Amino acid sequence: MTALHSTRINNVCGVLVSYNPDPIELKNNITVILNQVDQLIVVDNGSNSDIQEQLANLANSNITLLDLGENTGVANAYNVGINKALALGFDYALLLDQDSLPEKNMVSHLLSVLTNDVTKKSVVAGPVYKRESDPTGSFFVDVQPNKVRRIYPEDTSEPKIECSMLISSGSLLRLSLWQQVGEYREDLFIDHVDTEWCFRAVAKGFHLYGVPKALLLHTLGENSVRMWLFRWRQIPIHDPIRNYYTVRNSLRLYKMEHVASVWVKHDVIRLIMLMLFSITLCDKKIKRLKMIVMGSYDGILEKTALPWGKKNMAKEL
């Protein structure tokens, strides 16, 4: 992936979560990211010793490395990084996965939306996602009382689009309001961490905005395929363990009071189709089925403890 450099933004701290990244790609990404933020906090979620050594070599006055020692999940890693940014006195935090790369002026476009909001209730602004395998880009989701609406950036000339959820990577947070919403739920570990938090923010009266001019190159899943599920979708193909988290966390979200019921009705269909796709067209079908069954059981009973234990986490992910 490549992106153009842009002017550094004042008072924005990047928070990048890493887990066994490609060191060359990560170093290149960090070079680009540092052109759009004042400081970068890299929160490493228990990468192997070789990666940790290479990450340590990257640390300097503009890069802070926080080594968590084990895979604690993306939610906890983001919380650790954000709280560090708050301790350093930053007003805004840009969340990033290790394979996310801002295009030119992405942060300035996001920051403009937050700083120009007269209501002072805008808690987060997010970009349009572009993937090399899917150049059409993403859309924003607006959950209304009786329907779920998709808003495509190319269909509007508005500088911002109020929406109901944003993917965490690429999101720019106003930290004073983030504290009022609360931390990401660490018990969700990875899937739907951002979905739950966004619904919580909306329920508390805060605003979320998608910004059509802000672009992020982002990878979802180890691979992806394009197929028809009521519309053409680019379906990410993750390791089988993600089937467990997807099912478990979806079932848990469906029971939460602040999660919109109209969204639940739509997502149930998506979840069923996605799991059927996983066990019929993906590899490791038996393991995926096992993960789906375990996730369903734990989701219904609202279990949060990992059935294989923390010590075996690295083997599963």
**How is 260-302 classified by DSSP, letter by letter?**
-HHHHHHHHHHHHHHHHHHHHHSS-HHHHHHHHHHHHHHHHTT
What residues does 142 pair with on adjacent strands?
Answer: 149
DSSP 240: T
DSSP 70: S
CA 251, distance to chain mean position in Å, is: 19
145: exposed, middle or buried (Cβ count in 10 Å: 0-12, 13-18, 19+): exposed
Start-to-end Cα distance in the chain: 24
* Helices and strands counted in the chain (H then E): 10, 13
Domains and CATH numbers, the chain: 12-217 (3.90.550.10), 223-316 (no CATH)
Question: What's this model's pTM, rounded to 2 decimal places?
Answer: 0.89
Taking only the tens of pLDDT, the chain with its 317 residues reads 334 444 445 599 999 999 999 888 899 999 999 999 999 999 999 999 888 888 888 888 899 999 999 999 999 999 999 999 999 999 999 999 998 999 999 999 999 999 999 899 999 999 998 876 565 668 999 999 999 999 999 888 889 999 999 999 999 999 999 999 999 999 999 999 999 999 999 999 999 999 999 999 976 545 666 656 555 566 667 789 999 999 999 999 999 999 999 999 999 999 999 899 899 988 899 999 999 999 999 999 998 877 655 555 544 55
